[in-house]
Structure 1
């Protein structure tokens, strides 16, 4: 008997953060495998791409939003209706991490609204999963510290970014659109967290936004490289982020050998 091919599972992702932090670079690296050093402020761009993750094909609808304050008022309600949010900051600009508080507050208000919707739906005996058509599944939040190839200009230690994310119930990655570090991995993480959130909703699990977020948090990735664990402990948690020593103009192969990733 011929098997019927399943349609890709749709997931919507809104990408937000301060202007110039690399939101568009991350998006274009994923969608077109492109990177450019030219900065062109985005008002809003939409893209779509399919990815097969854990045996399931997903259709990702990506919305690359404006970061400049003068454009933030143009945020449409459809942006807040996303299944997941990728909040991007620039590790070479400390203010860009602070700017994420604005977006995080908006997302948390949306999360509370969805949880209220889920509670009402449960009391009415209605479905609360993704198939219900209502916004009842709290969105997934992932924080990405971008430009982690620019170690000489780092202002935000990896541990600081990780701590910021954990306190707000977010997953955490450090990325580099230029060097193509953790781009596919970040979106795969988002997909898995959304799938888990939907599964819980279909099981009728209604929880606080804080607890839902904490279940979606990520632990630091296993460091890549040959450094011994006891040596890493001596360096301390705050110094376990990406490190490039000596010559900053490393070739790709040498760069990867020296990389430490959270």
Structure 2
């Protein structure tokens, strides 16, 4: 009941990556539970969706950004002001993983600015947990999650899961493999983002700005595998909504198709 009456907690998420890697497909799968094979290059689209996670209602503001190199210069400062970044690549394209370097450098520069803002806030006797709308008021370093999308295309895979995980760890990010087409790890990925943003905010209130589980300057711990599924999960199969979003574990189960998938 509390989750229905409380004011939703806002969390902003910028989704970035190379063109054609499935950013819009992931976004639309979350927002509309829809998928299309048509590719329409995005310049920038904004969406919002509400989710209840661990009994708390969150209002997710999603920005689906341009991936084509010719549009990357159009990135607005507001895109870098997000609480979290979902960096998407295509497991069938090594180039799409390499393209994340560009976005990661921008995000890390933004993280440094926020840490500097936090230091100035502390020096002025202001709580560094404050996050206003102005660029100079942002102080909590952003969360980064890497998503290896199109994991249903195993026969065309060119980026092993271990390679994606290694890249994510090296760049201080969490890691998931997803499929927008089969709705694999979509809800779970955004639930993970929410949990990590909440944890960052909590640590900021305690004055810990750069010592989180997945620090912008450190390496991430691997995520736990999806929890074991039930016989009923086997019957439901992939693409059915209804992930577990409570406690420390998130997922739909490992029965049938899920046994082929891992997340960290």
Superposition TM-score, scaled by structure 1 size: 0.84
Give the equivalent residue in structure 2 for 1:147: 150
1:172-203 deviation line (CA, Å, top 9, x unaligned): 00000000000000000000000000001111
Q: How does 1:129-208 map to 2 (within 5 A)?
A: 129-130=129-130, 134-207=137-210
2:224 is the alignment partner of 1:221? yes
d(CA) in 1 for partners of 2:186, 2:79: 21
Give the 3 Å change call, closer, same or farther, for CA 4–181 of structure 1 in structure 2.
closer
Instruction: Note if contact 2:172-2:220 (Cα within 8 Å) is conserved in structure 1.
Output: yes
Q: Which has the larger radius of gyration?
A: 1
Give the 3 Å change call, closer, same or farther, for CA 3–220 of structure 1 in structure 2.
closer
Q: How does 1:1-262 map to 2 (within 5 A)?
A: 5-130=5-130, 134-207=137-210, 212-213=215-216, 217-222=220-225, 252=238, 256=257, 258-262=259-263
d(CA) in 2 for partners of 1:199, 1:32: 31
d(CA) in 2 for partners of 1:195, 1:225: 26
Instruction: Note if contact 1:14-1:79 (Cα within 8 Å) is conserved in structure 2.
Output: yes
Give the 3 Å change call, closer, same or farther, for CA 193–208 of structure 1 in structure 2.
closer
Instruction: Note if contact 1:91-1:155 (Cα within 8 Å) is conserved in structure 2.
Output: yes
Give the 3 Å change call, closer, same or farther, for CA 17–172 of structure 1 in structure 2.
same
Q: CA deviation at 1:123?
A: 1.1
Instruction: Note if contact 1:51-1:59 (Cα within 8 Å) is conserved in structure 2.
Output: yes
Partner of 1:52, secondary structure, is: strand
Unaligned runs of 5+ in 1: 227-250
Work out the number of aligned pairs and report it: 237
Partner of 1:184, secondary structure, is: helix
Instruction: Note if contact 1:13-1:62 (Cα within 8 Å) is conserved in structure 2.
Output: yes
d(CA) in 2 for partners of 1:177, 1:98: 21
Partner of 2:208, secondary structure, is: coil
Unaligned runs of 5+ in 2: 230-236, 240-254
d(CA) in 1 for partners of 2:4, 2:138: 29
1:8-47 deviation line (CA, Å, top 9, x unaligned): 0000000000000000000000000000001000000000
d(CA) in 2 for partners of 1:13, 1:67: 16
Partner of 1:60, secondary structure, is: strand
Give the 3 Å change call, closer, same or farther, for CA 210–203 of structure 1 in structure 2.
closer
Give the 3 Å change call, closer, same or farther, for CA 216–84 of structure 1 in structure 2.
farther
Give the 3 Å change call, closer, same or farther, for CA 115–214 of structure 1 in structure 2.
closer
d(CA) in 1 for partners of 2:141, 2:45: 24
